[in-house]
Amino acid sequence: MLTAATLYQRGIDLANAGRHAAARRQLDAALARDPDPDVEALVTGILAYIVSETGDADTALAMCLAAAADPRLSAHTRAVLAGQTGLIELRRGDADAALKHLSAAAARLDTDPARQGRALLNRGLVRLDRTEPAAALRDFGRAAEAFDRSGEPVEQAKALHNQGYAAMLTGDLVTAIRSMDAARPVLAALSPVAAAVGDADRAEVLLAAGMTTEAVRVLREVARVYGLRRLRQAQAEAELALARALSAESPLEASTIARRAARRFRSRGSESWAVRADALALGAAIAGGRGGPAVRAAAEQTATALAAARRVDDAAALRLQVVRAEVRGGDPFRRVRVRESAPIVTRLLADEVLAEIAEAEGSASGALRRAAAGLDRLRDWQSAFGSLELQSAAAAHGRTLAVLGVRVAVGTGDPGTVLEWSERVRALSKRVAVVRAPSDPDAAGQLAELRALRAAASGADAAAGRELDTRETELRESIRRRRWTRDGGGTREPRVALADLAAALAEDGAVFVSYLWTVDRLTALVVGPSGTRLVDLGEWAPVDALLAGLLADLDMAATALPSALRQAVRTGLADRMARLDALLVAPLMLPAGDRVVITPAGALAGVPWGMLPSLAGRAVAVPGSAAEWLAGRGTVADLSATGFVAGPGVARAEAEVLAAASSWPEPAILSGGAATADAVSRLAPRVDLLHVAAHGRHSADNPLFSAFELADGAWYGYDIDQLERVPRVVVLSACELGRSATRWGIEALGMSRAWLHAGAHCVISSPSAIADTAAEHLLRALHTRVAAGDGPAEALAAAGRETGIVAPFVCHGSGW
């Protein structure tokens, strides 16, 4: 017969794995063995924990206190019960009581490193609850050391995971991701509940990074898992995080979910958690336009309750929402103090509100100064990220400041101010110039496995196909996470002075156009030989309507169609391009013949500029910013080493690369079975110009998984990271690889941007399909010109004039 002590240990193991019903059976059996007072008290402590986790924290607390009152208990057992009581107080939301009990436990358990580790782990959670992440980091670090001494890898993984969470709260997302990823293999294997705990915290990191869509998806699933197991506290916490994730884009849905979470918290007696949910519900309601006097009064009461519970930063964030509603409503408002140690999202909210106050008071300079300070704050935070995806996602936090700054700058009518803000907005996802990181053999292996999986999936049956799909998803996530953990580095792009830009344009015989998007209107800044001016292009809606069907029209125009239908499609496309031209370019009255440099708003990322009638036959360069263009001028000449790749399944790919390569001495050519991923990865660092003719596809969900097809599978945007050096010029004759995923009208991310971020100076690509024959003839003419010394943008324009072929190729980056 098993002893009470053995059954107690089994109960602990099952409870820690989230298997509460099975744990209760073992613990009840232990009590039936008539254990000694110490074992009985310890069993009661674990039963109290289970009662707390399944919804009755008050009863659980009473159980622990009653057990600890037994005068027969040893000092060790009292310390263990103090730890259990502290954990239950944490669940109840009484951080002060939890801290007292857990500190007592940690101080008395030096000879029991496993239980001391748990007390420190839980005290770290209390520190998080009290918004003391630095102190929490120390507790989690001590806990990890204690678990290392006691030989408990699972508990050590929990401490490591929580270190990641605390790091997130300090703003160190790279460390957060590293720590959580290191802990995940151990924790996720325990149970669905343990996996959900990790996923919930990881979703908060995604949310902090600006990856809202992914965070929402993960949190919905986490809340569902907790709900199925009736873990109401955890379910409500997941719902609260979900509401936070939705608050920017869907504030009214966020408010509804937060109110539901508040009801769950109150049903468990977790009042401090309920107040947090109330705050989020009220803040989301205000953001959704429901910030009337009654809501604002309730928000002020809730903010007072948060401050009393030491949630000072949460209180400040809610009060800032109230002030914003008052400012927008023209009502009297008061200032709100925000600590410098507050989370960056709260500090950026303060910058937004102060900028809006300055704008409302008629101080354009004050509004711009505050908005600039906020974006500089965001820039400094972003500089820690080595990942293009994280940099781009984090730009979400600057959207409101960027739009406000551009709107106010345009309102000043000062071209220099407008240029400054044009550059600030475009730099949101590319503040840090690239530093080539060492290649990652493990990531390279995962990319190779991903290629093999995709090849195997084409011939698999349904069951095998589902298994392969699951593995593919795992690989994609792992590849992305590995990239996220790279530290930032390099130097920020320099600020561009209007005089310096004008001088460079005059030297090159070029005109510069920057499009500025402010949600409902579009403005252009034009810098050219006749001076500098701002052009109001009117409302955004008509442009947006024309862009909606543009890619479909371009794809259809490249398809082999019956003569009558082909003519109708071409006529429709020409009409669409003419109407876009009338809205975007014709009003600018650009001087004839000059080269054109365009920095489009992200919302205009899919425009094939050379197909607009006013720009037909002209050299058009489309860099990410004026700073990028200035830095790249003159760097695309003297292209001595060239490489050409023909992928499978494209009827005239080999003919295209052979024709294009004929303009160059000693070109390196990969085709047929030789055009493998490894071969391309070896070729790319050795050449100045790389030309790829292959099937391409853009991945809208994960833009850096955009790829072109080779003999042994797909070559991804992530493969670029493995190159020790990148070509200066890249030509992608692969449909869709000029597309970008645009976030909030500001950011654009795709394979072309990935090449430029990695260090390429110019990428020629198309956002849509191109007829094979047209690509062959046009690009042959382009290479003839580039080999003779023309810049890529000039060569593309000349090739179009010489062949009469109108194609949607765009020259990204520096064009000459």
- Give the contacts of 213 (CB within 8 A, at least 6 positions apart): none
pLDDT tens readout for residues 466-510: 777 778 777 777 776 666 666 555 456 678 999 999 999 999 999
| Strands of the sheet with 620-621, listed across from one edge | 531-539, 521-528, 510-517, 595-599, 620-621
User: Whose CA is closest to 112, among 71, 64, 141, 78?
Assistant: 78
Q: What is the pTM of this model?
A: 0.76
Number of other residues whose CB lies within 10 A of the CB of residue 444: 18
On whether the CB atoms of residues 623 and 609 are closer than 8 A, the answer is: no
- Contact partners, residue 455, CB within 8 Å, separation at least 6: 712, 713
Reduced to 3 states (helix: H, G, I; strand: E, B; else coil), residue 695 is coil
The tens digit of pLDDT for each residue in 314-366 reads 999 999 999 998 898 888 777 888 988 888 889 999 999 999 999 999 999 99
In this structure, the number of other CB atoms found within 10 A of the CB of residue 364 comes to 16
Percent of the chain with pLDDT over 70: 92
Residues with Cβ < 8 Å from 120, sequence gap 6 or more?
Answer: 102, 106, 139, 140, 142, 143, 146, 159
Per residue in 228-284, pLDDT (tens digit) is: 988 889 999 999 999 999 988 899 999 999 999 999 999 988 898 999 999 999 999
565, exposed or middle or buried, with CB in 10 Å at 0-12, 13-18, 19+? exposed
pLDDT tens-digit readout, 643-702: 999 999 888 899 999 999 999 999 999 999 999 999 999 999 999 999 999 988 777 666
The residue behind tokens 């890249």 is 730
Cα radius of gyration rounded to whole Å, the chain: 30
**DSSP assignment letter at 668:** E
